Structure 1
Amino acid sequence: MKDDIIIPKVENVYIAIVNEYNDIYKTQDWNAYIINNKDVDLEMILIVTSGYSENKTTSVFRKKLDRLPKKSYAKIELMQEELFALNNIFKVSFFVGNTMFDKTYLFRKNTINLKALRAVPLMDVKGVLVK
Protein backbone atom coordinates (compact mmCIF):
# COMPACT_ATOMS: atom_id res chain seq x y z
CA MET A 1 0.00 0.00 0.00
CA LYS A 2 2.88 2.36 0.80
CA ASP A 3 4.22 1.82 -2.70
CA ASP A 4 0.99 3.24 -4.14
CA ILE A 5 1.55 6.66 -2.58
CA ILE A 6 3.48 8.97 -4.87
CA ILE A 7 4.83 12.16 -3.35
CA PRO A 8 6.35 14.42 -6.02
CA LYS A 9 9.66 16.24 -5.67
CA VAL A 10 9.52 19.66 -3.99
CA GLU A 11 11.04 22.50 -6.00
CA ASN A 12 11.17 26.27 -5.39
CA VAL A 13 10.16 26.02 -1.73
CA TYR A 14 12.95 26.93 0.69
CA ILE A 15 13.67 27.40 4.36
CA ALA A 16 15.87 30.38 5.33
CA ILE A 17 17.32 31.44 8.66
CA VAL A 18 17.67 35.23 8.58
CA ASN A 19 19.50 37.55 10.95
CA GLU A 20 17.45 40.74 11.21
CA TYR A 21 17.02 43.75 13.43
CA ASN A 22 14.08 43.74 15.85
CA ASP A 23 12.75 47.32 16.12
CA ILE A 24 10.72 46.58 19.25
CA TYR A 25 13.48 45.08 21.39
CA LYS A 26 16.44 46.75 19.61
CA THR A 27 18.19 43.39 19.10
CA GLN A 28 19.54 41.29 16.25
CA ASP A 29 17.32 38.19 16.01
CA TRP A 30 17.54 34.99 14.02
CA ASN A 31 14.21 34.04 12.42
CA ALA A 32 13.24 31.03 10.32
CA TYR A 33 11.12 31.63 7.18
CA ILE A 34 9.43 29.46 4.60
CA ILE A 35 9.72 30.82 1.06
CA ASN A 36 7.34 29.94 -1.76
CA ASN A 37 9.16 30.79 -4.98
CA LYS A 38 6.61 28.83 -7.05
CA ASP A 39 4.06 30.28 -9.47
CA VAL A 40 1.22 28.67 -7.49
CA ASP A 41 -0.14 29.07 -3.96
CA LEU A 42 0.64 26.48 -1.30
CA GLU A 43 -2.22 25.28 0.86
CA MET A 44 -2.44 23.57 4.27
CA ILE A 45 1.27 23.93 5.08
CA LEU A 46 2.43 21.91 8.08
CA ILE A 47 5.90 22.58 9.49
CA VAL A 48 7.49 20.46 12.22
CA THR A 49 10.88 21.55 13.55
CA SER A 50 13.32 20.14 16.04
CA GLY A 51 17.01 20.12 16.84
CA TYR A 52 19.31 17.27 17.81
CA SER A 53 22.86 16.18 18.42
CA GLU A 54 24.41 12.97 19.72
CA ASN A 55 23.35 13.71 23.29
CA LYS A 56 20.72 16.48 23.04
CA THR A 57 17.25 16.79 21.55
CA THR A 58 14.99 19.83 21.59
CA SER A 59 11.26 19.82 21.96
CA VAL A 60 9.23 19.66 18.76
CA PHE A 61 7.71 22.87 17.38
CA ARG A 62 4.71 22.70 15.04
CA LYS A 63 3.24 25.41 12.85
CA LYS A 64 0.34 25.39 10.40
CA LEU A 65 -0.30 27.92 7.66
CA ASP A 66 -3.59 27.78 5.76
CA ARG A 67 -2.13 29.36 2.64
CA LEU A 68 1.15 30.77 1.35
CA PRO A 69 0.61 32.79 -1.84
CA LYS A 70 2.88 32.34 -4.83
CA LYS A 71 6.16 34.28 -4.72
CA SER A 72 5.84 35.05 -0.99
CA TYR A 73 7.24 34.05 2.38
CA ALA A 74 6.14 33.68 6.01
CA LYS A 75 7.93 33.68 9.35
CA ILE A 76 8.03 30.29 11.06
CA GLU A 77 9.76 30.97 14.35
CA LEU A 78 12.36 32.93 16.31
CA MET A 79 15.50 30.83 16.79
CA GLN A 80 17.83 31.06 19.76
CA GLU A 81 21.54 31.03 18.88
CA GLU A 82 22.14 28.06 21.21
CA LEU A 83 20.23 25.92 18.70
CA PHE A 84 22.87 26.48 16.00
CA ALA A 85 25.21 24.02 17.77
CA LEU A 86 22.61 21.34 16.92
CA ASN A 87 21.36 19.88 13.65
CA ASN A 88 18.04 21.64 12.94
CA ILE A 89 15.36 19.85 10.92
CA PHE A 90 12.32 21.42 9.27
CA LYS A 91 9.80 18.88 7.97
CA VAL A 92 7.41 20.61 5.57
CA SER A 93 4.24 19.20 4.02
CA PHE A 94 1.79 21.11 1.83
CA PHE A 95 -0.77 20.79 -0.92
CA VAL A 96 -0.89 22.27 -4.40
CA GLY A 97 -4.40 21.50 -5.58
CA ASN A 98 -5.06 17.87 -4.64
CA THR A 99 -1.39 16.88 -4.67
CA MET A 100 0.56 16.54 -1.44
CA PHE A 101 4.23 17.50 -1.27
CA ASP A 102 6.67 16.69 1.52
CA LYS A 103 10.30 17.59 2.15
CA THR A 104 12.77 17.59 5.03
CA TYR A 105 15.23 20.49 5.23
CA LEU A 106 18.36 20.08 7.35
CA PHE A 107 20.61 22.81 8.71
CA ARG A 108 23.70 20.96 9.93
CA LYS A 109 25.21 22.02 13.24
CA ASN A 110 27.30 25.20 13.21
CA THR A 111 26.30 26.09 9.62
CA ILE A 112 24.05 28.97 10.71
CA ASN A 113 26.34 31.92 11.37
CA LEU A 114 27.06 35.44 10.14
CA LYS A 115 29.83 34.23 7.79
CA ALA A 116 27.38 31.92 5.98
CA LEU A 117 24.87 34.66 5.04
CA ARG A 118 23.87 34.78 1.36
CA ALA A 119 21.12 36.49 -0.65
CA VAL A 120 17.68 35.02 0.05
CA PRO A 121 15.17 34.80 -2.84
CA LEU A 122 12.15 37.16 -2.67
CA MET A 123 13.14 38.66 0.67
CA ASP A 124 15.84 41.23 -0.18
CA VAL A 125 17.82 40.12 2.90
CA LYS A 126 20.75 37.83 3.62
CA GLY A 127 20.43 34.53 5.42
CA VAL A 128 21.30 30.86 5.45
CA LEU A 129 19.22 29.00 2.90
CA VAL A 130 18.39 25.32 2.41
CA LYS A 131 16.79 24.31 -0.89
Structure 2
Amino acid sequence: MIKDLPENNVQDIAIAVALEGENIETKIWYVYLINLKNEPIENVLVTSKGYGEKDGVQVKTSTLRHMFPEVSGQAFKLIEPIDEQTFGLNNEYWLSYYIGKNIYDKKFIFLPESIVEMNFIKLPVLNKPGVMIL
Protein backbone atom coordinates (compact mmCIF):
# COMPACT_ATOMS: atom_id res chain seq x y z
CA MET A 1 0.00 0.00 0.00
CA ILE A 2 1.04 3.59 -0.47
CA LYS A 3 1.56 4.09 3.28
CA ASP A 4 4.22 1.35 3.17
CA LEU A 5 6.37 3.20 0.60
CA PRO A 6 9.42 5.04 1.95
CA GLU A 7 9.21 8.82 2.05
CA ASN A 8 12.04 9.77 -0.29
CA ASN A 9 12.44 13.54 -0.11
CA VAL A 10 13.70 15.35 -3.19
CA GLN A 11 16.69 17.53 -2.29
CA ASP A 12 19.20 19.49 -4.34
CA ILE A 13 17.11 19.23 -7.51
CA ALA A 14 15.59 22.34 -9.08
CA ILE A 15 13.40 23.39 -11.97
CA ALA A 16 14.32 26.78 -13.42
CA VAL A 17 12.97 29.14 -16.05
CA ALA A 18 15.88 31.00 -17.63
CA LEU A 19 15.96 34.04 -19.86
CA GLU A 20 18.08 32.94 -22.82
CA GLY A 21 17.98 36.10 -24.85
CA GLU A 22 15.81 38.85 -26.19
CA ASN A 23 15.26 40.91 -29.26
CA ILE A 24 13.02 43.85 -30.09
CA GLU A 25 9.93 41.68 -30.50
CA THR A 26 10.22 39.01 -27.81
CA LYS A 27 12.19 37.33 -25.04
CA ILE A 28 13.40 33.74 -25.35
CA TRP A 29 12.80 31.50 -22.33
CA TYR A 30 13.74 27.89 -21.55
CA VAL A 31 12.89 25.54 -18.70
CA TYR A 32 15.74 23.51 -17.18
CA LEU A 33 16.19 20.69 -14.73
CA ILE A 34 19.21 21.39 -12.49
CA ASN A 35 20.89 18.60 -10.54
CA LEU A 36 22.75 20.26 -7.66
CA LYS A 37 23.78 16.88 -6.24
CA ASN A 38 27.28 15.48 -6.69
CA GLU A 39 25.79 12.20 -7.92
CA PRO A 40 23.82 11.47 -11.08
CA ILE A 41 20.07 10.87 -11.19
CA GLU A 42 18.69 8.27 -13.58
CA ASN A 43 15.54 7.44 -15.56
CA VAL A 44 14.36 11.03 -15.20
CA LEU A 45 10.79 11.76 -16.29
CA VAL A 46 9.36 15.29 -16.37
CA THR A 47 5.76 16.08 -17.28
CA SER A 48 4.75 19.67 -17.87
CA LYS A 49 1.43 21.44 -18.21
CA GLY A 50 -0.12 24.84 -17.73
CA TYR A 51 -3.52 25.62 -16.30
CA GLY A 52 -5.51 28.48 -14.83
CA GLU A 53 -7.74 31.36 -15.79
CA LYS A 54 -7.01 33.85 -18.55
CA ASP A 55 -9.43 36.65 -19.42
CA GLY A 56 -12.14 34.99 -17.32
CA VAL A 57 -11.87 31.66 -19.15
CA GLN A 58 -10.38 28.43 -17.79
CA VAL A 59 -7.33 27.49 -19.85
CA LYS A 60 -5.36 24.23 -19.98
CA THR A 61 -2.28 23.54 -22.10
CA SER A 62 -1.20 20.20 -23.50
CA THR A 63 0.68 17.86 -21.19
CA LEU A 64 4.21 17.19 -22.42
CA ARG A 65 6.50 14.39 -21.27
CA HIS A 66 10.29 14.42 -21.33
CA MET A 67 12.65 11.54 -20.55
CA PHE A 68 16.37 11.66 -19.76
CA PRO A 69 18.33 8.45 -19.13
CA GLU A 70 20.72 10.31 -16.80
CA VAL A 71 21.48 13.79 -15.48
CA SER A 72 25.02 13.98 -14.13
CA GLY A 73 25.85 15.58 -10.79
CA GLN A 74 26.26 19.38 -10.88
CA ALA A 75 24.67 19.45 -14.35
CA PHE A 76 21.49 20.54 -16.09
CA LYS A 77 19.17 19.38 -18.87
CA LEU A 78 17.02 21.51 -21.13
CA ILE A 79 13.40 20.47 -20.63
CA GLU A 80 11.57 22.72 -23.08
CA PRO A 81 11.09 26.25 -24.36
CA ILE A 82 8.30 28.20 -22.66
CA ASP A 83 6.16 30.98 -24.11
CA GLU A 84 5.71 34.21 -22.14
CA GLN A 85 1.96 33.97 -22.78
CA THR A 86 1.79 31.08 -20.29
CA PHE A 87 3.35 33.11 -17.45
CA GLY A 88 -0.17 34.13 -16.35
CA LEU A 89 -0.99 30.44 -15.73
CA ASN A 90 0.18 27.87 -13.22
CA ASN A 91 3.11 26.12 -14.91
CA GLU A 92 3.48 22.67 -13.36
CA TYR A 93 6.44 20.32 -13.71
CA TRP A 94 6.17 16.86 -12.18
CA LEU A 95 9.59 15.25 -11.76
CA SER A 96 10.34 11.58 -11.12
CA TYR A 97 13.79 9.95 -11.00
CA TYR A 98 15.88 7.16 -9.51
CA ILE A 99 19.02 7.08 -7.42
CA GLY A 100 20.01 3.44 -7.31
CA LYS A 101 16.82 1.47 -6.69
CA ASN A 102 15.05 4.34 -4.88
CA ILE A 103 12.46 6.42 -6.70
CA TYR A 104 11.87 10.10 -5.97
CA ASP A 105 9.19 12.47 -7.21
CA LYS A 106 8.12 16.06 -6.68
CA LYS A 107 5.75 18.59 -8.19
CA PHE A 108 7.14 22.07 -8.95
CA ILE A 109 4.61 24.84 -9.71
CA PHE A 110 5.46 28.30 -10.99
CA LEU A 111 2.47 30.37 -9.88
CA PRO A 112 0.90 32.98 -12.19
CA GLU A 113 3.08 36.05 -12.64
CA SER A 114 5.96 34.56 -10.59
CA ILE A 115 8.28 34.50 -13.61
CA VAL A 116 9.14 38.19 -13.51
CA GLU A 117 12.41 40.10 -13.45
CA MET A 118 11.85 41.09 -9.81
CA ASN A 119 12.24 37.38 -8.86
CA PHE A 120 15.37 36.75 -10.96
CA ILE A 121 18.47 35.18 -9.46
CA LYS A 122 21.68 33.96 -11.05
CA LEU A 123 20.81 30.32 -11.63
CA PRO A 124 23.39 27.88 -10.22
CA VAL A 125 25.18 25.63 -12.72
CA LEU A 126 23.50 27.48 -15.63
CA ASN A 127 24.92 30.94 -14.75
CA LYS A 128 21.96 32.64 -16.41
CA PRO A 129 19.27 34.96 -15.01
CA GLY A 130 15.97 33.33 -14.16
CA VAL A 131 13.54 32.00 -11.58
CA MET A 132 14.12 28.72 -9.76
CA ILE A 133 12.14 26.38 -7.51
CA LEU A 134 14.21 24.12 -5.29
| TM surpasses 0.5 | yes
RMSD after superposition = 1.5
Separation in structure 2 between the aligned mates of residue 7 and residue 105 of structure 1, nearest angstrom: 17
Gaps of 5+ in 1: none
- How far the C-alpha of 1:30 sits from its partner, in A, is 0.5
**Equivalent AA in structure 1 for residue 32 of structure 2:** Y
Q: Deviations over 1:39-69 (max 9, x none)?
A: 1100000000101114111110110000000
Residue 12 of structure 2: aligned partner? 12
Unaligned runs of 5+ in 2: none
- Percent pairwise identity: 28
SS of 2:18's equivalent? strand
Report 1:56-75 matches (<5 A). 56-75=59-78
Preserved contact between residue 9 and residue 101 of structure 1 (Cα < 8 Å): yes
Aligned amino acid, residue 72 of structure 1: A
Q: Tell me the TM-score normalised to structure 2 length.
A: 0.90
Letter in 1 for 2:30: N
Distance in 2 between the 1:28 and 1:2 partners? Answer: 43
User: Normalising by the residue count of structure 1, what TM-score does the alignment of the two structures yield?
Assistant: 0.92
Alignment-derived partner of residue 97 in structure 2: 94
3-state secondary structure, aligned to 2:60 = coil
Residue 35 of structure 1 is matched in structure 2 by 34
